[in-house]
């Protein structure tokens, strides 16, 4: 495939998408055809009734303050990565086919007892709060949004992992009839991601169930997704169906596709460029304001000590 060399900041996001690294010409053309269809779709409004609507808005945790304005809801809700519904950013309409209620999640692997939990019941059992977080995609766009959810540490406590468990692997649903992107067989479906137990139980790590003071809309990964704000966005897996506690470091979706570009750690760092573009700055969705990228996306105070003594790992890619 012909790749025109440009400096990092010149690379348009259409070229900076992870897929351009491995897709051949035939699949690129198929993708382009999909894109034309998607761009003709209307912009999607948010927030119909959900079974958990009565829980929102949840009280805000004022311990997390932003250094920038919140991204407008209609902007964030119409610019998403959710490859299960297509590889364009305009997947909001397609994602309305996601059947997010009812939903259950499995807790399995190295735990005292494997369990299947109903997500509505799980959400009602947890204490929900709102947090304003920065969010930084590896493609160099960023937003700042009010997530609602609960600490992942509370889910890990409920799971009761054995001491032999070192990592938690998370998995998205696999339903190609509902999610047309999953018929694209060159991707290693289902989408998976992983964290160490220390990362999963860090204070910042959230299981997200709502956004903008309402139950989470489908395109953001309803009914339950991960948010790890100090890592590139691809780590924040959507629409989770399983949490598997394991001993070995798990392989994830993007790492399997392009290990040189999307590693396991993926901590945000302005000084470590992606192999094909700079990470020094980011573009805020909506305003297009350029801002300097922050080390650990500005969350070093919470997470830097997780990585002490690990200098030999590829922590930032």
Closest approach of Cβ 212 to Mo ion, in Å? Answer: 20
Quick one: CA dihedral 62, 67, 71, 72, positive or negative? positive
Which of residues 149 and 221 has its CB atom nearest to ligand MTE in the complex? Answer: 221
82 binds, among Mo ion, ligand MTE, none (CB under 5 to 8 A by kind): ligand MTE
Among 151, 106, 101, which Cα is nearest to 126's? 151
Q: Is 263 near Mo ion (CB under 5 A)?
A: no
> Which range touches Mo ion (CB under 5 A), out of 47-55, 186-194, 233-241, 280-288?
233-241
Q: Is 187 near ligand MTE (CB under 6 A)?
A: no
172 binds, among ligand MTE, Mo ion, none (CB under 5 to 8 A by kind): ligand MTE
Q: Is 84 near ligand MTE (CB under 6 A)?
A: yes
Pairing of strands 225-227, 206-211: antiparallel
Residue 255: enclosing H or E segment and its boundaries? Answer: helix 253-257
Quick one: CA dihedral 145, 151, 153, 156, positive or negative? negative
236 binds, among Mo ion, ligand MTE, none (CB under 5 to 8 A by kind): ligand MTE
Q: Is 231 near ligand MTE (CB under 6 A)?
A: no
Return the residue of 78, 81, 90, 209 that touches ligand MTE, per CB under 6 A: 81
The tokens for 164 are 């032999």
Q: What does R_g of the chain's alpha carbons equal in angstroms? A: 19
Give the C-alpha separation, 53 to 314, whole Å: 41
Question: Which residue is associated with the tokens 């300097």?
Answer: 292
Q: Is 233 near Mo ion (CB under 5 A)?
A: yes
191 binds, among Mo ion, ligand MTE, none (CB under 5 to 8 A by kind): ligand MTE
Which of residues 161 and 233 has its CB atom nearest to Mo ion in the complex? Answer: 233
Cα dist from 200 to 14, 151, 183, 244, whole Å: 31, 9, 31, 12
Q: Is 227 near Mo ion (CB under 5 A)?
A: no
Question: Which residue is associated with the tokens 């805000």?
Answer: 60
- Residues binding ligand MTE (CB under 6 A): 80-84, 137, 172, 191, 220-221, 233-234, 236-239
């Amino acid at each position: 495939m012909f790749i025109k060399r440009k400096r990092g900041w010149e690379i348009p996001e259409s070229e900076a998408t992870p897929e351009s690294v491995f897709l051949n010409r035939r699949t690129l053309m198929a993708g382009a055809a999909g894109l034309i269809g998607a761009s003709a779709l209307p912009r999607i409004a948010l927030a119909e009734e959900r079974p958990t609507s009565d829980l929102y808005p949840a009280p805000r945790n004022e311990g997390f303050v932003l250094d920038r304005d919140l991204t407008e809801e209609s902007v964030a809700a119409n610019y998403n990565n959710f490859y299960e519904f297509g590889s364009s950013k305009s997947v909001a309409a397609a994602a309305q086919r996601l059947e997010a209620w009812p939903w259950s999640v499995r807790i399995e692997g190295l735990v005292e007892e494997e369990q299947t939990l109903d997500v509505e019941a799980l959400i009602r059992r947890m204490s929900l709060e709102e947090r304003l977080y920065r969010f930084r995609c590896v493609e160099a766009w960023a937003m700042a949004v009010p997530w609602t959810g609960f600490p992942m540490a509370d889910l890990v406590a409920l799971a009761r992992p054995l001491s032999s468990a070192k990592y938690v692997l998370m998995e998205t649903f696999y339903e190609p009839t509902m999610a047309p992107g999953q018929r694209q067989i060159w991707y290693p479906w289902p989408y998976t991601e992983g964290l160490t137990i220390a990362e999963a139980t860090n204070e910042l790590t959230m299981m997200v169930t709502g956004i903008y003071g309402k139950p989470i809309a489908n395109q953001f990964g309803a009914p339950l997704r991960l948010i790890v704000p100090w890592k590139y966005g691809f780590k924040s897996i959507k629409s989770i169906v399983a949490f598997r506690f394991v001993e070995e470091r798990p392989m994830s979706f993007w790492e399997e596709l392009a290990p040189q570009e999307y590693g396991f750690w993926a901590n945000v760092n302005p000084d470590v460029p992606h192999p094909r573009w700079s990470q020094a700055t980011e573009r805020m969705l909506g305003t297009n304001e350029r801002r300097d990228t922050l080390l650990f996306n500005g969350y070093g105070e919470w997470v830097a000590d997780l990585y002490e003594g690990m200098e030999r790992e590829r922590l930032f890619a």
